[in-house]
Amino acid sequence: MKHLSRLAPVLLMLATSMVQAQSAHLGRNLAATCANCHGTNGQARGDSKPLAGVSAEKIVAAIADFKSGAQPATIMHQIAKGYTDDQIQLIAAYFAAQAVKK
């Protein structure tokens, strides 16, 4: 029993780090669906807006505007409605962490 009380904090730390790693991968996986318009890892080409290096707050606000209809769009208003707020946070964090390539 004594060993379990010592092991519990270690197990908790391991579980927390696993959840954080899964969140990072989930953000990348969710963001991959944006590649058709916004380029791989947010490195847009052509007329699409690049998302790489844009602050997470800006991305979250933009998606909220699309979701609410405040920002007109051809397709983004429909796409935005398909994500939960938590998923949007993960996507935004992923793009914000991407380096801008020129």
- pLDDT tens across 57-82, in order? 999 999 999 999 999 999 999 999 99
Q: Kindly state whether residue 19 falls inside one of the protein's structural domains.
A: yes
pLDDT score at 96: 96
What is the value of pTM for the model shown? 0.75
Q: What is the pLDDT of residue 91?
A: 95
pLDDT beneath 50, residues of the chain: 11, 16-19
Residue 102 within a domain: no
- pLDDT at residue 2 in the model: 54
80 falls within a domain? yes
Q: Tell me, what's the pLDDT at 67?
A: 94
Task: Tell me what pLDDT residue 83 has.
Answer: 95
pLDDT of residue 25: 86
Calculate the alpha carbon distances from 19 to 11, 15, 16, 98 in Å: 12, 6, 5, 21
Where does the chain show beta strands of DSSP type E?
Answer: none
pLDDT at residue 10, as a whole number: 57
The CATH number of whichever domain residue 52 belongs to comes to: 1.10.760.10
Structural domain span for residue 26: 2-96
Structural domain contains residue 46: yes
Q: Say if 45 falls within a structural domain.
A: yes
Question: Which of 48, 18, 20 shows the shortest CA–CA distance to 35?
Answer: 48
Instruction: Judge whether 13 lies within some domain.
Output: yes
Q: Give yes or no for a contact between 82 and 34, defined as CB atoms under 8 angstroms apart.
A: no
The pLDDT assigned to 87 comes to 95
Q: What pLDDT shows up at residue 32?
A: 92
39 in Cβ contact with 102 (< 8 Å): no
- How far apart CA 47 and CA 64 sit, in angstroms, is 21
- Number of structural domains in the chain: 1
Determine, yes or no, domain membership for 59: yes
Quick check: is 53 in a domain?
Answer: yes
